[in-house]
Structure 1
């Protein structure tokens, strides 16, 4: 084992349990995310072993600062990227029975779908009715995948709001 490896091993043995507790608290008990952030913190320590402070207290501060920045970066990333919206569950809308309830629901869906913008309607049709993947649609539209996912997210939200307005 080389000197940097033993130094990182010692750093991990000394500070990993405290770092994990800190990251668990920041992540509201999400152990998987906290462990991933701990691993990334230790990886950065290994990558910058030549710049680590010599004194143990300063090493601890350095590690906790890196962990805090990783947490802040993850929060910012979640704020920028909209959460992925699951496919609409249309089971509660009824079947093809010829009832007045089915006719009302069908009319409500058609009305809400018709009020969507052309871009939103097109994305929903391609993704959910034609079965294209976001990657396929992005290539077809010549836009980034994130744009397709964002449009789908906002289209589904608009469709839900349109259906709620009818109720």
Structure 2
């Protein structure tokens, strides 16, 4: 009997890079495993061949799902940076955005630290958004060759193509990504003591609405965005102006830790109820990017976050 579910995490990571949505990746993997199970009698080879067969099915599922011309993006891919005081504008549909995904769904629980570092970088929001600029088959080639380290002949067999065609697609994909603004590495593997201290300071300052400390932990060219709005800011001065504006609604909000896209993340709670998922990218001892996804009812169950902030245990 073939074992399919043990491949779920790596297949989810592959489909997430292809599709840019944790929800769509889960759907794609489920369809992959269903198709594999239905046709299991056709498969009687070894373990490595099973993995290749599953990736072949997953690739076809993703290519089918990518027939729509709509591509997912980040706010900075869609509009220039806003100025403090400008309105958020009109929200755009969910399918516009690269969506976050929990680390637990896409990263192995154990593994070689160097390999995990590469995998974390390959699921960062900026990298996944850049992948969406590639035609779907080029996208598959680049992920399989440069992220998963498959040989060109293995990719050619999977795509029913030739090695020359795969190498040509990889060259074009690399050229496209070379022009993308990926920023510096922003994941963590694992957090060092200074970064843990940074996050502790961030959480304490956020929950106290201590603006001066929040500004102090930002990188000089930090960015802030809030999907589903194209509004975003770049630069510590502009972020500070927004944080210092009177009547900030986030006063008294609370945070619960999570992990998304190889980065620290937090569930944000307002008036005790789930409000947003905040994903942070760190650069050294500063916060380089803050993405606040304003879709708690959909995202919190995916991340295993409660919809209400947990009350402290009562002591007797």
TM-score bin, normalised by smaller chain: 0.3 to 0.5
Normalized against structure 1, the TM-score is what? Answer: 0.39
Which one has a larger percent strand, Structure 1 or Structure 2? 2
Normalized against structure 2, the TM-score is what? Answer: 0.21
Question: Which one has the largest radius of gyration?
Answer: 1
Which one has a larger percent helix, Structure 1 or Structure 2? 1
